[in-house]
């Protein structure tokens, strides 16, 4: 288990970091160890609820330095995600390959679950160091880094990958693929307002527009054709989460497979633009992060992901005002085609199914006491049911 310590030269470090715990969802072919299942009644917090809020950085300014016991509290609450330790020497040698000066401090970031992230204060300013863990396919990294580079060059507020003396953005550190990217200021919104949704809609449309001339493509590994195989890997345990869930998902999947649209505008999508991946500063968007699910798919599917992640209240009600403001913000930049609007209910069902299934997979495959707590699949079951019941796109505030 990792602990925070200060070692020499005042650099705060996470020591003794562990391998990612077996069981988190991985792309097809990944082998997850089926572990002791969780009791669904001991439900985790719904993201965004007060108990799910954690400090942005362990040991950040304004907090007492973490003690082993305070670190343990965060670990046991399921917030720790620094898996790979970086020694001072390795970091120094790594930074010598860039024009960023030397490291002044290096702190593991607790938020996030997929990779190991460090905030590195250098002589030239703050940077984010990411070590890509086993869940990320190294073959996808040129796409992700190339996309961030492309978007940042077009004024999308996303991390800019830093190039070394050799012009490369991707190299290796502590046995992992690693990259340095620019640090973005701001905080993700814990209490989402219609204003946030409106700004998100505009930013998403600008991202889609800026991605139009990105030359690389990446298949969506969590698209409609991937849902049934993923379901089959956890179907046996679905009824433990809620009685009848297996049959309900089987039927909903069949409906989705039959109704999935074709011929909608395609392009680069973020595919995971949840509130914790969007930073705001003084009520305006200051950063879009976590491009590690980005792929080529229907642009309107990205809107559907956002409707689900931003427009439901903590108790499960759909907030049509938030949806309308999100769609208004989007359409002010990129008008939607009639076919995209008509397809929104089925796209929103698909987006709900995608996150329901990955959460279900994680739920049944994450051992008790794992470092990262799985998110509640039922949150997305209720969203799926909502979209299956809507009469049409008017339910999202579209006239
Ligand atoms: N470019 C960045 N600027 C500022 N903070 C960042 C940046 N990238 C990541 N972070 C911080 O690291 C956390 C985890 O990043 P994220 O990409 O979501 O990780 P993961 O893919 O492991 O979930 C974020 O919540 C944020 O606090
Ligand atoms: N947004 C997904 C989980 C993906 O985690 P991230 O930290 O990489 O955004 C969900 O809520 O299920």
How far is the centre of ligand 2, averaged over its atoms, from the C-alpha of 272 (Å)? 7
Ligand 1, pocket-test mutation among 17, 189, 290, most atoms within 8 A of CB: 290
Rg (CA), the chain: 21
Ligand 1 atom closest to the Cα of residue 115 is 22
Q: What is the pLDDT of residues 347-393, one digit of tens each?
A: 999 999 999 999 999 999 888 877 778 899 999 999 999 999 999 99
Q: What is the pLDDT of residue 16?
A: 32
Q: For the domain 18-182, what is the CATH code?
A: 3.30.200.20
**Distance between CA atoms of 357 and 381, rounded to whole angstroms?**
9
Match 């990262």 to its residue by tokens: 372
Q: How many CA atoms lie within 13 A of 179 on its CB side?
A: 24
Prediction pTM value = 0.84
**Which residue minimizes the CA distance to atom 10 of ligand 2?**
355
Q: Where are the domains of the chain?
A: 18-182, 194-396
> What is the position in ligand 2's atom list of the atom closest to the CA of 111?
7
CA of 389 to the centre of ligand 2 (A): 25
CA torsion sign for 231, 236, 240, 244 is positive
* Mutation to probe ligand 2, out of 375, 379, 381, 384 (largest number of atoms < 8 A from CB): 375
Which parts of the chain have pLDDT scores under 50?
1-24, 26-79
Q: Ligand 1 centre and the CA of 289: distance in Å?
A: 6
Q: 């030359």: which residue's tokens? A: 215
pLDDT tens per residue across span 325-336: 999 999 999 999
Query: Among 56, 79, 19, which Cα is nearest to 375's?
Result: 79
Largest CA distance in the chain: 63
**Atom nearest to 159 CA in ligand 1:** 1
pLDDT tens readout for residues 115-134: 999 999 999 999 999 999 98
Sign of CA dihedral 308, 309, 311, 313: positive
Following DSSP, what letter does each residue of 100-139 receive, concatenated? S--EEEEEE--S-SSSEEEEEEETTEEEEEEE--TTS-GG
Q: What is the pLDDT of residue 122?
A: 98
Could you give the ipTM of this predicted complex?
A: 0.96
Position 120 scores a pLDDT of 98
Instruction: Provide φ and ψ at 75, rounded to 5°.
Output: -60, -45
Q: Confirm or reject CATH 3.90.1200.10 for domain 194-396, answering yes or no.
A: yes
Query: CA-to-CA distance for 338 and 144, rounded, in angstroms?
Result: 31
Ligand closest to the CA atom of residue 46: 2
């Amino acid at each position: 288990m990792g602990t925070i310590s200060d070692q020499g030269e005042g650099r705060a470090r996470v020591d003794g970091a562990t391998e990612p715990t077996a069981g988190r969802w991985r792309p097809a072919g990944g082998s997850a160890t089926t572990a002791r299942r969780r009791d669904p009644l001991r439900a985790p917090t719904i993201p965004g609820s007060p108990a799910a809020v954690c400090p942005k950085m362990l040991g950040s300014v304004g907090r007492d330095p973490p003690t082993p016991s305070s670190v343990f509290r965060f670990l046991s609450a399921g917030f720790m995600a620094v898996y790979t330790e970086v020694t001072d020497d390795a970091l120094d040698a790594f930074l010598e390959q860039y024009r960023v000066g030397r490291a002044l401090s290096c702190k593991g970031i607790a938020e996030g679950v997929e990779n190991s992230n460090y905030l590195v204060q250098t002589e030239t300013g703050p940077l984010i160091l990411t070590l890509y863990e086993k869940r990320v396919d190294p073959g996808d990294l040129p796409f992700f880094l190339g996309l961030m580079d492309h978007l940042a060059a077009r004024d999308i507020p996303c991390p800019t990958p830093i190039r070394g003396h050799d012009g490369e953005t991707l190299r290796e550190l502590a046995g992992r693929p690693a990259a340095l990217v620019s640090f973005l200021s701001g905080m993700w919104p814990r209490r989402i307002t219609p204003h946030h949704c409106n700004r998100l809609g505009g930013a998403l449309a600008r991202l889609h527009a800026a991605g139009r001339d990105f030359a690389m493509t990446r298949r969506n590994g969590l698209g409609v054709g991937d849902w049934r195989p993923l379901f089959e890997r956890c179907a046996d345990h679905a009824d433990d989460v809620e009685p009848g869930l297996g049959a309900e998902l089987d039927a909903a999947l069949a409906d989705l497979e039959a109704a999935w649209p074709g011929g909608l505008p395609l392009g680069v999508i973020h595919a995971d633009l949840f509130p914790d991946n969007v930073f705001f500063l003084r009520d305006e968007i200051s950063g879009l992060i976590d491009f590690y699910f980005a792929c080529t798919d229907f642009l309107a599917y990205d809107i559907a992901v956002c409707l689900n992640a931003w427009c439901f209240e903590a108790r499960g009600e759909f907030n049509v005002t938030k949806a309308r403001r999100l769609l208004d913000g989007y359409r002010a930049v990129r008008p939607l085609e009639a076919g995209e609007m008509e397809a929104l209910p089925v796209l929103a069902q698909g987006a709900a199914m995608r996150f329901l299934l990955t959460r279900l997979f994680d739920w049944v495959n994450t051992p008790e006491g794992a470092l990262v707590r799985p998110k509640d699949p039922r949150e997305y079951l209720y969203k799926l049911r909502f979209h299956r019941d809507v009469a049409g796109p008017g339910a999202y505030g579209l006239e």
